[in-house]
Amino acid sequence: MEFNELSPEILDKASNMLKAIAHPVRIAIVSFLEKGDKHTVTEIHKKLGIEQSVASHHLVILRDRGILSSEREGKNIYYFLRNPNLGKMLKSLGDCCKE
């Protein structure tokens, strides 16, 4: 199916997902999680070199907009991409930015 053949509802959902990701920190989070691993907020903030509160703020946005899922294991909450194709999309976007 071609993208221009999609329903208005699907196009609206796609637009909202892109808006949710459209921030440098959120792009970095999605890129970090694109390998399919699950990570805690501590692992994410350390890997990206940002404050834990900043990472938490952006994780909540991504989870609330349906980009990420989370699951609790004991005291820890692990975050992961709801759909692994989002990581592929960002990889393609990064390739376009290198040109």
**Rounded average pLDDT per 10-residue block, the chain, 99 residues:** 74 87 94 92 96 97 94 96 85 79
Q: What is the pLDDT of residue 4?
A: 66
pTM of the predicted protein model? 0.86
Into how many domains does the chain fold? Answer: 1
Q: What is the pLDDT of residue 88?
A: 81
Assign residue 16 the CATH number of its domain. 1.10.10.10
Do the beta carbons of residue 44 and residue 62 sit within 8 Å?
no
Alpha-carbon dihedral sign for residues 97, 86, 66, 35: negative
Q: Give the structural domain span for 76.
A: 3-97
Which of 75, 74, 62, 68 shows the shortest CA–CA distance to 37? 68
Q: What is the pLDDT of residue 3?
A: 62
Dihedral of CA atoms 32, 50, 71, 13 in degrees, nearest 10, equals -60
Q: What is the pLDDT of residue 26?
A: 95
Q: What is the pLDDT of residue 7?
A: 86
